Structure 1
Amino acid sequence: MTKVLVVAEHLDGKLNASTAKTVSAAAALNPEAIDIVVLAADPAAIAAEAAQIAGVAKVLAVANPANEHALAQVLGPQIAELAKGYSHVFGPSTTFGKDLMPVVAALLGVAQVSDLMAVDGPHTFKRPIYAGNAIISVEAPADRTVVATVRTASWPEAAKGGNAAVETVSTNAALPGHTRYVGLAAGKSDRPDLQSAKRVVSGGRGVGSAENFKVIYALADKLGAAVGASRAAVDAGYVPSDLQVGQTGKIIAPELYIAVGISGAIQHLTGIKDAGTIVAINKDGEAPIFEIADIGLVGDLFHLLSELENAL
């Protein structure tokens, strides 16, 4: 019997799009049921949103003041207890999921399947290795619970229109006292979230400076897009590290990705290979980025961005 428990990711009372993508991966198993678990201090609104995802049979709402902040060491024991009766436990391969799911796997005594990008069978999956240059098949033991993180860039969001039942549940899991929430240091932005944005404008070393990066922000605002950056731009101090796209940054799959002044190192291309349309703007016509770009503009980025803004 294949039953999947999907761990919902949420922030500030809103469900993250990664949850619907994780449901798509779960649906590829053709399971008997897909349930979502929402852990929060007050999960009602988030659970109601999760219940609208098509294909979901039931939403488990776990209310606990300790769940106000997403601490893996606090959420993990509760999820591990709720996992009884499920053959698979899936979470998104985001910062949230990468922190939490290994804890769940350890508590269940199983090895985690990471960055699941395709389903070949109930216990056979594909995942990328070597910065996405190779795809490996992974077979999990058939007699153990499968704990996996889902590579959200490889899956579409499950449709809405569902009407799953919401069930309030509680657990008797012992919560550790050695880990506690102190605070969250995060950049504030009115722009879309980089990992879930439909459009992204990224700048690289070619932008030249932190001051010059304002042209990237300006174009992004015109398009209603999120802002990203290459590792070279982050290392040079142009932008903070939470904007980094690539193997050591965020793996994204927007409908439109505009790479400005980015040469296209393999580590960066790993982060954008699933993007719908890739536009490259670079003065070097031989830059590797043009090999994967759908549209390429060769020339001075400041001149070309000014023309694009005027056209928009």
Structure 2
Amino acid sequence: MNNIWVLGETKADGLASATCDCLSEARRISGATVTCVLLGSGVKGLAPKAAHHHADKVLVCDHENLSKYNLEIYAETLARALETHKPDLVMFAATTHGKELAGRLAARFGVGLASDCLSIAAEGDQVVAVRPMYAGKVRTTVRLTGPTPRMATLRPNIVKVLDPDSSRTAPVVDLELSMPARVGTELVLVESKSAAGEVDLSEASIVVSGGHGLKGPENFHMIRELARALGGAVGASRMVVDKGWIEHRYQVGQTGKVVTPDLYIAVGISGAIQHLVGMQNAGCIVAINNNPEAPIFKVADYGVVGDLFEAVPKLTEAVKKVRVGA
């Protein structure tokens, strides 16, 4: 495995944490040259950060036509670059955009794709990946042995991120923008935005999650108010998402998002193993539940056994008072 590409995703202040995950995982593959690919408008300035996060080389397509994500344009530009440079493996973050691009490109090139991986490694010229199956109940090892470039998506916040090295530098190579041929359909840009004032769940340093103990969707306002007071993000258990109380994008767990905030507050969540997998590596875990035997308390650093309908409003008011006095 000589040449590994990582498709970089960006946020307002730099590289997305999911990209740093991929760069670290790629760096662990012995002997491989790690290349970070950055597409967007105004992204060339992020090349040094990619080098700090262990990229040996950075490919950049910085163009105003890439200012907003468009599957057709991104896929065409990447496809042309892949045809020219011929990497052995391309790693994507298992985000909405990463999954979409990986699937499109794997189909175009007729190559293997390991999706939603928990780890990615190499044995000789084979890609060896571990991924969950059956709603996270089991893990399986898959091997990609066919033609290159093989492709894989890595679940965010799962692998250990290597410490950045500010002394590292990497050569930067410009890529050409490639526009797709017209096929008689109009391309429509679909842009996903969080609600006003919401913090992105995957990047948040504080997460407040609600579960079945809330008893109904009408009570999720308590979770939002506490999260807002703390400057954190809203999360949820799979059960309440399945019931339609809140959108899937808020789900934390094996089949949702894996988060590693400094503080995770679980409100009315019993702590099924599928949920614990998604948050157990948080810096500090606080559980609020009226059942002292709830599994969530086994991983919690602090626990409140009591009525969440009393505890959460009091906690929210206490946080607001501290913030006002600060």
What TM-score do the two structures reach when normalised by structure 2? 0.81
Q: Does the aligned pair in 2 maintain the 1:81–1:173 contact within 8 Å? A: no
Q: Does the aligned pair in 2 maintain the 1:74–1:176 contact within 8 Å? A: no
2:165 aligned with 1:180: no
2:100 aligned with 1:99: yes
Structure 1, unaligned runs of 5 or more = none
Task: Name the structure 2 match of 1:39.
Answer: 39
Letter in 2 for 1:127: R
Distance 1:238 1:136, change over 3 A: closer
1:163 alignment partner, one of 147, 165, 169: 169
What SS does the corresponding residue of 1:51 show, helix, strand or coil?
Answer: helix
CA offset digits 1:240-279 (Å, max 9, x no partner): 4432323553333334322101233455445335545433
1:246 alignment partner, one of 250, 253, 257: 253
Task: Name the structure 2 match of 1:192.
Answer: 199
CA offset digits 1:1-28 (Å, max 9, x no partner): 5211111112558532211111111112
Task: Name the structure 2 match of 1:283.
Answer: 290
Distance 1:175 1:293, change over 3 A: farther
**Shift, 1:118, TM fit:** 2.3
Q: 1:1-312 to 2 correspondence within 5 Å?
A: 1-11=1-11, 14-45=14-45, 47-48=46-47, 50-83=49-82, 84-122=85-123, 123-141=127-145, 144-160=148-164, 161=166, 162-170=168-176, 174-175=180-181, 177=183, 178=185, 180-210=187-217, 212-234=219-241, 238-265=245-272, 267-306=274-313, 308-309=315-316, 310=318
Q: Does the aligned pair in 2 maintain the 1:51–1:166 contact within 8 Å? A: no
Aligned residues: 311
**Shift, 1:202, TM fit:** 0.5
What SS does the corresponding residue of 2:18 show, helix, strand or coil?
Answer: helix
RMSD over aligned Cα atoms: 3.0
For 2:182 and 2:251, the matched residues in 1 are separated by 33
Structure 2, unaligned runs of 5 or more = none
Q: Once the two structures are aligned, what percentage of the paired residues are identical?
A: 35
What TM-score do the two structures reach when normalised by structure 1? 0.85
What SS does the corresponding residue of 1:280 show, helix, strand or coil?
Answer: strand
What SS does the corresponding residue of 2:30 show, helix, strand or coil?
Answer: coil
CA offset digits 1:188-246 (Å, max 9, x no partner): 34343101223211012322455533332333234332111224444566544432323
What SS does the corresponding residue of 1:152 show, helix, strand or coil?
Answer: coil
Distance 1:259 1:250, change over 3 A: same
Letter in 1 for 2:20: A
